[in-house]
Chain A
Amino acid sequence: MNRILPVLTVIAAIVALWYAAAVWMNRAWVYDQAARDGAEVSFLQALPQTMTLERPVLPAPHQVVAELVKSTFGMKVTSKKSLVYHGWVTLSATLLGFAIGTGAGILLAVGIIHNRAMDLSVMPWAIASQTIPILAIAPMIIVVLNSVGVQGLVPKAIISAYLSFFPVVVGMVKGLRSPDAMQLDLLKTYNATGAETFGKLRLPSSMPYLFTSLKVGIAASLVGAIVGELPTGAVAGLGARLLSGSYYGQTVQIWAALFAAALVAAALVAIVGLIERRVLVRMGMAR
């Protein structure tokens, strides 16, 4: 409860700063316009105008919220102007990719901890791959798959899967290795088989690590899906909204798409966090 007031203060400060910045960045255009009409405007006269421009340099928060509400609730969901439509296009690619990436990542992690040769040969590459900007290959994957006839959801999902894959591998390997030598020795004295050790000790103790990397992975998946929508030109999805907004200088549309993406990301991470809490409480590991 003692967190709400500070958080609200910080958010209020951010919104206030935003309004100030909007006035400061948009006033040049207002003055310019007035000078062209041969009129003098005082600062107080210019103030309301800076918040109602059609293509402001920085739209005021209420403009963005209005656009967001209009394009979320004011349109039919099948309309190309509806953010629900675009959001769903992006979300479906994200979820499909996330499921593929997570599944493959967990399987590879299980392989790595049980096979020393695999550990030594794959693990350095899995770690190294986290340091390279994988997102750069997104345009290539889209165009190449397009040229062999695969379009729409799947190429984006592949990029999403790729981005969520490596965090899960690295986190899961760490988690499956987290039981200390004492616990492993104990299971050995109980004469536990490899599968029993895995099921009763390694897998349960990997859960906190798994959920940490799932949160990273799902956020990365969403970024992958959004970036995957850029190279095809503005067809559909939140990335396409960003791109078409930047083509036509529709700043309000860009900000609305950005907010929609942020809301989707926050919701996804929150859902993973909720499942995490439920699972950890159930397993008696919640802190």
Chain B
Amino acid sequence: MIWVLGAIAFWLAAWAVNVRLSHSPLMAHRAGRLLVPALFGIALLVLWEGVVRGLGVPGVILPPPSAIAARIATEGPTLWADFRQTFVKGALSGYAIGCSAAFLTAIAIDRSPFLQRGLLPVGNFVAALPIVGIAPILVMWFGFDWHSKAAVVVVMVFFPVLVNTVAGLAASERMQRDLMATWGASYWQSLLKLRLPAAMPFVFNGLKIATTLALIGAIVAEFFGSPIVGMGFRITAEVGRLGLDMVWAEIAVAAVAGSAFYGLVALIEKRVTFWHPSQRV
């Protein structure tokens, strides 16, 4: 019981500190703004640990964070191998192929309003479909190794990026395009100097959506068959053996990898679209 009460006390204390912090002048700084969510996260972990220990929740239902951390520390090589198989080989290669294919397709159909009018509704439609379902088919076609996972990722990221890029290429204003025309700019000049830069916020929106989809696709595709390495494989295998601390360790790795991947794309976006209102602070 002392664990539970202690954890709740810590939670309340952390919340009180957060309330104070959020009204303090510290919030003007970047570091200060990071402090509050960090404290909230730590309080959540402490609460989790305290409740699990205090109420004696069995490890096969919910392991405490300390057990998960211990697992991460001891199973480093396995986690690294899984990470490489699923993220680097499956998700990243599929992401690169899918996004570039979508981008090039968007540019290719840019000159044909007919194709755009046809492809956009279809693309929007497909983007809303549960495309993960295609995983069993692609696993049959490309085998159990990472190629099939990359193929699933290609299909999953293609349409969001395509739809966003096409929408982005239409984002420049009539006035701006007319200005380019009065300067006698050719199609390619106008594309490179005006329309592509103006499309970048949309393109990056698609790329950011695609980062999450890529990881999801690579992991879920492994549920349909995989070699004996990979995050999705490890999750299903360890769930079957009730080794939930290992499952949580994999999820922690997936979470860190996913946020880092997203963060990287967001960082590039910030550099590329520094002029956009949403990037100004």
A69 at the interface (CB under 8 A from B): no
Within 8 A of B (CB), among A1-49: 2-3, 5-11, 14
Contact: B220 with A227, CB < 8 Å? yes
Which residues on A sit within 8 Å (CB–CB) of B263? 131
Contact: B40 with A121, CB < 8 Å? yes
Minimum C-beta distance from B182 to chain A (A):
29
Contact: B117 with A7, CB < 8 Å? yes
Residue of A nearest to B232 (CB): A136
Residue of A nearest to B255 (CB): A132
- Across the interface, B235 reaches (CB within 8 A) one of A7, A140, A219, A223, namely A140
Contact: B33 with A120, CB < 8 Å? yes
Within 8 A of B (CB), among A133-179: 133, 135-137, 139-140, 143-144, 147-148
Main secondary structure of the interface of A (DSSP, over half): helix
- Across the interface, B130 reaches (CB within 8 A) one of A117, A222, A231, namely A222
Residue of B nearest to A260 (CB): B133
Compute how far the CA of A257 lies from the CA of B130 in the bound complex, rounded to whole angstroms: 11
A183 at the interface (CB under 8 A from B): no
Contact: A136 with B235, CB < 8 Å? yes
Which residues on A sit within 8 Å (CB–CB) of B212? 130-133
Residue of B nearest to A13 (CB): B118
| Total contacting residues, chain A, CB less than 8 A | 59
Which residues of B does A touch, CB under 8 Å?
15, 18-19, 21-23, 27, 33, 36-37, 39-41, 60-62, 114-119, 121-122, 125, 128-130, 132-134, 136-137, 139-141, 211-212, 215-216, 219-220, 223-225, 231-232, 235-236, 239-240, 242, 244, 247-248, 250-251, 254-255, 258-259, 261-263
Contact: A7 with B118, CB < 8 Å? yes
Residue of B nearest to A219 (CB): B128
Contact: B122 with A251, CB < 8 Å? no
Within 8 A of B (CB), among A216-275: 219, 222-223, 226-227, 230-231, 238-239, 242-243, 245-246, 249, 251, 254-255, 257-258, 261-262, 265-266, 269
A125 at the interface (CB under 8 A from B): yes
Contact: B41 with A261, CB < 8 Å? no
Query: Given A7-B122, A133-B215, A266-B129, are A254 and B137 neighbors across the interface (CB < 8 Å)?
Result: yes
Contact: B18 with A120, CB < 8 Å? yes
